[in-house]
Structure 1
Amino acid sequence: MSDLDALLAWAGQFLPAPLPVAGLQLAAVTGDAGFRSYFRSNTKPSFIVALAPPEHEDNRAFVNIAIAMAKGGVHVPQIYAVDYEQGFLLQEDLGDWLYLDALNGATQGQLYDRAEATLLQIQRLPAASGLFPAYDASLLQGELELFPEWFVGGLLGVELDQQARLLLIEVFTILQDSAAEQPEVVVHRDFHSRNLLQLEDGGVGVIDFQDAVRGPLSYDLVSLLRDCYIRWPQALVEKRVEGFRRKLLAQAGAALELPDAATFLRWFDLMGLQRHLKVLGIFARLSLRDGKARYLDDLPLVMRYVLEVAQKYPETEAFYRWFIDCLEPQLLQHPWYQPWQVAGEAA
Structure 2
Amino acid sequence: MMNTRHRHMTDWLDNLGYRDYTLSIASEDASFRSYYRVKSGSDSWILMDAPPEKESCERFIVVANKLRRVNLSAPEIVEQDTAQGFLLLTDFGSTAYLSVLDTKTEGPLYTDALAALLKMQTDIECDDLPDYDEHLLAQEMDLFRDCFLKGLLGIRLDRTQGQQWADIKKKLVQNALEQPQVFVHRDYHSRNLMKIDQRNPGILDFQDAVKGPITYDLVSLLRDCYIAWPPVRVDRLALDFYDFARVNELVDVEPAKFRCWFNLMGIQRHLKAIGIFARLKLRDGKDGYLRDIPRTLEYIEQASTEETSMKGLHTLISDLGLKTRVKSLL
* TM score, norm. by length of structure 1: 0.91
- 1:143 aligned counterpart, secondary structure: helix
For 1:344, the equivalent position in structure 2 comes to: none
State how 1:240-279 maps to structure 2 within 5 Å.
240-252=237-249, 256-279=250-273
- 1:82 aligned counterpart, secondary structure: strand
Query: 2: distance between equivalents of 1:204 and 1:128?
Result: 21
- 1:42 aligned counterpart, secondary structure: strand
For 1:167, the equivalent position in structure 2 comes to: 164
Query: 1: distance between equivalents of 2:253 and 2:137?
Result: 22
Contact kept in structure 2, 1:40 and 1:49, CA below 8 Å: yes
- 1:124 aligned counterpart, secondary structure: helix
Contact kept in structure 1, 2:274 and 2:293, CA below 8 Å: yes
Give the drift of 1:127. 4.0
Contact kept in structure 2, 1:187 and 1:212, CA below 8 Å: yes
For 1:154, the equivalent position in structure 2 comes to: 151
Query: 1: distance between equivalents of 2:182 and 2:199?
Result: 26
State how 1:252-331 maps to structure 2 within 5 Å.
252=249, 256-328=250-322, 331=325
Query: 2: distance between equivalents of 1:297 and 1:53?
Result: 28
Distance change in 2, residues 1:128/1:209 (3 Å): closer
Query: 2: distance between equivalents of 1:203 and 1:279?
Result: 26
For 1:38, the equivalent position in structure 2 comes to: 35
Write out per-residue CA displacement over residues 96-144 of structure 1, whole angstroms, 9 at most, x where no aligned residue: 10000111001111110000011012112444441x1000111101111
For 2:82, the equivalent position in structure 1 comes to: 84
Q: Which amino acid aligns with 2:110?
A: Y
Distance change in 2, residues 1:127/1:146 (3 Å): farther
For 2:205, the equivalent position in structure 1 comes to: 208
Query: 2: distance between equivalents of 1:166 and 1:90?
Result: 48
- Unaligned 5+ segments in structure 1 are 337-347
RMSD, aligned α-carbons:
1.5
- 1:311 aligned counterpart, secondary structure: helix
Contact kept in structure 1, 2:48 and 2:88, CA below 8 Å: yes
State how 1:324-339 maps to structure 2 within 5 Å.
324-328=318-322, 331=325, 334-336=328-330
Q: Which amino acid aligns with 1:51?
A: D
- 1:94 aligned counterpart, secondary structure: coil
Distance change in 2, residues 1:71/1:266 (3 Å): same
For 1:11, the equivalent position in structure 2 comes to: 13
Query: 2: distance between equivalents of 1:58 and 1:108?
Result: 34
Among candidates 175, 184, 188, match of residue 187 of structure 1: 184
For 1:343, the equivalent position in structure 2 comes to: none
Give the drift of 1:182. 0.6
Give the drift of 1:333. 6.5
Query: 1: distance between equivalents of 2:288 and 2:326?
Result: 18
Query: 2: distance between equivalents of 1:169 and 1:40?
Result: 44
Q: Which amino acid aligns with 2:10?
A: L
* TM score, norm. by length of structure 2: 0.95
Write out per-residue CA displacement over residues 277-315 of structure 1, whole angstroms, 9 at most, x where no aligned residue: 011111000100111111101100000001111111222
For 1:53, the equivalent position in structure 2 comes to: 51
For 1:120, the equivalent position in structure 2 comes to: 118
For 1:231, the equivalent position in structure 2 comes to: 228
Query: 1: distance between equivalents of 2:98 and 2:231?
Result: 18
Contact kept in structure 1, 2:293 and 2:326, CA below 8 Å: no
Contact kept in structure 1, 2:47 and 2:89, CA below 8 Å: yes
Q: Which amino acid aligns with 1:176?
A: V
Query: 2: distance between equivalents of 1:181 and 1:15?
Result: 52
Distance change in 2, residues 1:74/1:324 (3 Å): same
Give the drift of 1:63. 0.7
Query: 1: distance between equivalents of 2:62 and 2:17?
Result: 22
Query: 2: distance between equivalents of 1:328 and 1:257?
Result: 36
- Unaligned 5+ segments in structure 2 are none
Query: 2: distance between equivalents of 1:103 and 1:332?
Result: 26
Q: Which amino acid aligns with 1:148?
A: R
Query: 1: distance between equivalents of 2:327 and 2:102?
Result: 32
Q: Which amino acid aligns with 1:78?
A: E
Distance change in 2, residues 1:128/1:188 (3 Å): closer
State how 1:92-107 maps to structure 2 within 5 Å.
92-107=90-105
User: Identical aligned pairs, as a percentage?
Assistant: 38
Contact kept in structure 2, 1:258 and 1:264, CA below 8 Å: no
